[in-house]
C-alpha cells in the first residue's frame, strides 16, 4: 500500500518537530508556514527532561544540548532575596533542563529537514473536506489537497477554528514580559525565580 503524504500547517516548534518525527519513520511530509521569511523571534524557553526525552527519541537530544545551557538546579527566592527552596533535577529523570533561545531551537529544527520540506509564505485561510481529501486554501487563493492534515498553526489556529468553531484563547489573568540581557560578571549560569506579593521575576542562562 502506498504511503500517504502528510501536510502540516504551521512551521513553528511543534510543526517542525512533528515533521522530523514523521520523516524518521519514512513518511513524506510538507510543512506550510505563513511567514515569508524565517527570522529570529521570541526569547528564552526551557525544555524539561520529558521534552529532551522526546528529542532523544529522534536522536537529537545531545546535539540540541550543545545549543543552549543545561540546568540541574534552580532557586526560588522571596522578594527580599532570601532562598525559599532549591530544586535539583534527579539523575534518573534526565540530564536536566535545557535553556535555549527559541530562535536557536527553531534554526536547529530547520537544519534537520530537507530543502522544500518547508514552504514559506503560505498563510492558511480555510480548510474543508470532501470524501477523500482535505482541501487547504491559502491567502493567495491557491489550494492544496492532502489525505492527511496536522494542525500546528499556533494559539490562533485557523484549522482549529474551522474544526471547533467558537473556541478562542482565554486570558489567564496575568501578563508575562520576556527579554534578554548580557549576564553581569559572576551571574553566568545562575537560574532563579523571585516570588513577591505582586508578581514573579525569573532569570535563566541561555548559553
Q: What is the mean pLDDT of residues 104-130?
A: 95
- Reference 139, options 27, 19, 57, 34; nearest CA is 34
Residue 141, SS3 per DSSP:
coil
- The per-residue pLDDT for 186 is 67
Specify the 3-state DSSP secondary structure of 63. Answer: helix
What's the predicted TM-score (pTM) here? Answer: 0.88
C-alpha cell at 5: 503524504
Mean predicted confidence (pLDDT) in 115-144: 95
Residue range 183-203, pLDDT digits in tens: 777 666 678 999 999 899 998
The yes-or-no verdict on residue 139 having pLDDT over 70 is yes
Question: Rounded CA gap, 88 and 91, in Å?
Answer: 9
Fold of 44-100+177-207: D-Amino Acid Oxidase; Chain A, domain 2 (3.30.9)
Domain residue ranges of the chain, discontinuous segments joined by +: 1-37+120-166, 44-100+177-207
Fold of 1-37+120-166: FAD/NAD(P)-binding domain (3.50.50)
pLDDT tens profile 81-108: 999 999 888 887 777 899 999 999 999 9
pLDDT at 61: 93
As to burial, measured by CB atoms within 10 angstroms (0-12 exposed, 13-18 middle, 19+ buried), residue 120 is middle
Amino acid at each position: 500500500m502506498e504511503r500517504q503524504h502528510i501536510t502540516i500547517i504551521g512551521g513553528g516548534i511543534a510543526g517542525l518537530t512533528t515533521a522530523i518525527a514523521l520523516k524518521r519513520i519514512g513518511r513524506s511530509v510538507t510543512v506550510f508556514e505563513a511567514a515569508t521569511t524565517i527570522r529570529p523571534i521570541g526569547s528564552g524557553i526551557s525544555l524539561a527532561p520529558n521534552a529532551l526525552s522526546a528529542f532523544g527519541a529522534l536522536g537529537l537530544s545531545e546535539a540540541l544540548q550543545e545549543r543552549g545551557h543545561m540546568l540541574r538546579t534552580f532557586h526560588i527566592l522571596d522578594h527580599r532575596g532570601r532562598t525559599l527552596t532549591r530544586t535539583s533535577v534527579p539523575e534518573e529523570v534526565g540530564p536536566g533542563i535545557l535553556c535555549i533561545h527559541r530562535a536557536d531551537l527553531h534554526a536547529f529544527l530547520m537544519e534537520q529537514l530537507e530543502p522544500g520540506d518547508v514552504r514559506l509564505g503560505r498563510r492558511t485561510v480555510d480548510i474543508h473536506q470532501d470524501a477523500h481529501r482535505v482541501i487547504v486554501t491559502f491567502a493567495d487563493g491557491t489550494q492544496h489537497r492532502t489525505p492527511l492534515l496536522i494542525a500546528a498553526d499556533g494559539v490562533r489556529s485557523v484549522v482549529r477554528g474551522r474544526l471547533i468553531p467558537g473556541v478562542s484563547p482565554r486570558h489567564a489573568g496575568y501578563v508575562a514580559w520576556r527579554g534578554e540581557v548580557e549576564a553581569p560578571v559572576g551571574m553566568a549560569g545562575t537560574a532563579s525565580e523571585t516570588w513577591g506579593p505582586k508578581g514573579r521575576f525569573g532569570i535563566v542562562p541561555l548559553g
